[in-house]
Structure 1
Amino acid sequence: MDATMSMRRDVRILLVGEPQVGKTSLILSLVSEEFPDEVPPRAEEITIPADVTPEKVPTHIVDYSAQEQTTDQLKDEILRANVVCIVYAVDNDYSVQMITQKWLPFIHETVGEDLRMPVLLVGNKSDLQEESSMESIIPVMNQFPEVETCVECSARNLKNISELFYYAQKAVLHPTAPLYCAEEKELKVPCVKALTRIFTICDADNDGLLKDRELNEFQKRCFNAPLAPQALEDVKAVVRKNCPDGTRDNGLTLPGQGLTVACCNS
């Protein structure tokens, strides 16, 4: 069992963002599995029992409303949270601008410079715009290492709603910070040592390469299912593009394995 999971008894997720971006709708759509006809200014705190969450940990989802809460109450909620979801509307440029001009600085100020609160960026209302908002969001993710990922979703269409809260839970239970230094964009020394050990164990024929069969043996041991052939080729294609010595004879080298993990955390 993951050490973080064994210590963590529950997860508290806080949703913040500008008015009308759909924070409350996201919560209500998750709970009722349909878009609400009427949306209150703020949803009551929701607790999802452990037995219906992917990680089997009770999860509390908390809404924020500038209409009903003060700045001091917002600060208290941030300090109580394990992860903050900054919600923006993909069709509202102002709500995107406020991510860096307001919300991320406010979270920094609240938790202090010595602590890092994991943050997810949540692009709601994807049903209203065909173009992705990722072109605007990727620079934010590169600038602020506490941003774990970005999820585009639609409360109205129920698109990626479950995935949003799964990623928020995962950011708490399986944090990337112990493994990957986002500022330096490189794996940390203990992670490199662990990966080297894993590579040695998985390299059954001791040829210095992880061939498809060896990669799939590792995948089956960890996840009880092999990778699809196309998924294997996609991984190797990314490695070839970004690491000249990452592949050899159609297998992953040790540097290639390290790049694969770094790409998953960046």
Structure 2
Amino acid sequence: MPDPSAPLDLIISKTGGATKDWKDALHLCAGVGKTSLIVSLLEDEFYENVPARIDHVMIPADVTPERVVTSIHDYCAREQTKEELVMEIKSANVICVVYSVADQSSIEMVTSYWLPMIKQNTPENSVMRPVILVGNKSDQPGSSKQMEKILPIMNEFDEIETCVECSAKTMKNISEIFYYAQKAVIYPTHQLYVSEDRELTRKCKKALVRIFKLCDFDNDGLLNDYELNQFQMFVFGVPLNAVAISVSLLCEVVT
């Protein structure tokens, strides 16, 4: 088994009920700059010297794009147990795996240790948590070539939603990391689309047909301009403009 103390970090996020509270737990291994990412997010500034682990941090809803309260928990293997990490994984809704684009071994650990461990500790009969890959230290030389190594990983593991290359030092894409983590939970795609089959899920198709039938007032199997406009008003609260209506296509119901 690969050494868990190798340079790789893990971020785990969790939402809770209608209050839209979030919990982010972060697994710390030396070298990839995960704690620096958190500090840069909080302070909007890079610090050379950061602790191995920071205490839990609460980010208010008014500073996040999706208006959700975000609580960040920093997990450190030197101070906490693996059992605590496993508990966090089992209760998480989205997981961000952080690696260093300047360290090939940390990239290898993504597939050889962390992604299998996450899958192993996902409760049986549960949907796999969405994973965000985070490549830190993109400011270092040669980092631009690392994405070529990440693309095959994204194709192999369907649970990976996206990959974000960032730099705590230059502040590149810091806020985007947490935006994509929140988006993966608030607007999930796995319930709608089966990537390996490249088609919508059965339940998604059923829901779309149901929506179509509700909008097809005259039951002719087509949506005319009036019906499209009524749908637009119901969903978005504003009517379609004349140009949009003129170029809209009639949709035949899929049965």
Normalization by structure 2: what TM-score?
0.72
Listed as ranges, the gaps of 5+ residues in structure 2 are 1-14, 216-221, 223-227, 239-246
- Give identity over the alignment, percent: 50
| Secondary structure in structure 1 of the residue aligned to 2:76 | coil
Contact 1:11 1:82 in 2 (8 A): no
Choose from 125, 139, 143 the match for 1:127: 139
Rounded to whole Å, the distance in 2 between the matches of 1:66 and 1:172 is: 26
Give 2:9's aligned residue: none
Cα 1:17–1:117, aligned 2, differ >3 Å: closer, same or farther? Answer: farther
Give 1:38's aligned residue: 49
Rounded to whole Å, the distance in 2 between the matches of 1:78 and 1:23 is: 17
Give 1:75's aligned residue: 86
Normalization by structure 1: what TM-score?
0.70
| Secondary structure in structure 1 of the residue aligned to 2:89 | helix
Cα 1:35–1:10, aligned 2, differ >3 Å: closer, same or farther? Answer: same
Q: Does 1:161 align with 2:165?
A: no
User: Deviation at 1:193?
Assistant: 5.0
Rounded to whole Å, the distance in 2 between the matches of 1:196 and 1:132 is: 44
Cα 1:147–1:130, aligned 2, differ >3 Å: closer, same or farther? Answer: closer
Contact 2:28 2:52 in 1 (8 A): no
Give 2:163's aligned residue: 150
Rounded to whole Å, the distance in 1 between the matches of 2:55 and 2:81 is: 16
User: Deviation at 1:54?
Assistant: 1.3
User: Deviation at 1:15?
Assistant: 3.1
RMSD: 3.6
Give 1:63's aligned residue: 74
Rounded to whole Å, the distance in 2 between the matches of 1:25 and 1:183 is: 35
Cα 1:190–1:155, aligned 2, differ >3 Å: closer, same or farther? Answer: same
Choose from 194, 205, 216 the match for 1:181: 194
Q: Does 1:139 align with 2:152?
A: yes
Contact 1:151 1:160 in 2 (8 A): yes
Contact 1:14 1:85 in 2 (8 A): no
